[in-house]
Amino acid sequence: MSLTKADGAGPALSAEEAARVAAGDALFKANCAQCHAVNEQVVGPALAGITKRRSISWLIPWVKNSSKVVASGDEYAVAVYTKYNKQQMPSFALSDQEITSIFAYVNAQPAPAVALAR
């Protein structure tokens, strides 16, 4: 069984991928949606394309404890922290698999529609 991606583009999701996206959806809504949206800046940045800007191996420690990543002097982490008025992202006691599922959900979301100039 396979499902199409939310935007209908690209290959269909396998049942395993669809389950990961569904789990990520629930986790995103429970843990992230208060401060983030996929395609819009809220309190924190929009998350669309985040796995193109940062690797999963960088994102997992960031989600678990962003203040530790900032304190390490990581240039990107410090820039994000500074850009968002030094608003600290809370630490999350999520497993690597749960965090990966959140990003699977984010990546499965359609890009925003672009208005055409007339």
pLDDT-derived band of residue 86, with 50, 70 and 90 as boundaries?
A: very high
pLDDT tens readout for residues 102-113: 999 999 999 877
Is residue 61 in some structural domain?
Answer: yes
Q: Note whether residue 118 is domain-resident.
A: no
The total of structural domains in the chain comes to: 1
Instruction: Confirm if 74 and 38 have CB atoms less than 8 A apart.
Output: no
pTM of the predicted model as reported, rounded to 2 decimal places? 0.84
The domain in which residue 82 lies consists of 2-108
CATH number of the domain to which 8 belongs: 1.10.760.10
> Would 83 be classed as within a structural domain?
yes
Tens digit of pLDDT for each residue in 27-83?
999 999 999 999 999 999 999 999 999 999 999 999 999 999 999 999 999 999 999
Calculate the CA 89 to chain-centre distance: 13
